[in-house]
Amino acid sequence: MVKKTIMLVCSAGMSTSLLVTKMQKAADDKGMEAEIFACSSSEADQNLENRSVDVLLLGPQVRFMKGDFEKRLAPKGIPLDVINMSDYGMMNGENVLQQAENLME
């Protein structure tokens, strides 16, 4: 299986770090090879330039940036969505990982 790179973007990159840990555990439990990382919205462009990203998920607190990211990601063919607010609030790594997997299909 090819390793997948999942990028989470939030305001400061802090609140999603716990979610990254839970998503990584869910991926490991499934035997999925994944690199999951979080960054702030101000670091997003730099990460997109320097890394091969398979899917980008926005934290609910930056959902207003979705249109802007769609324009930037369309030429690269990178799927994008906003993380479900209840999954984010509950830090449900399994559900958010599933959301990312659905986008990569």
DSSP state of 85: H
| Token reading at 27 | 């991926």
Active-site residue among 8, 10, 27, 55? 10
Please name the residues in contact with 82: beta carbons below 8 A apart, sequence gap of 6 or more.
57, 58, 59, 60, 63, 66
| Strand-pair category, 55-58 with 4-10 | parallel
Decide if 39 is catalytic. Answer: no
Which strand (E) or helix (H) includes residue 35?
A: strand 34-40
Q: Catalytic residues, which ones?
A: 10
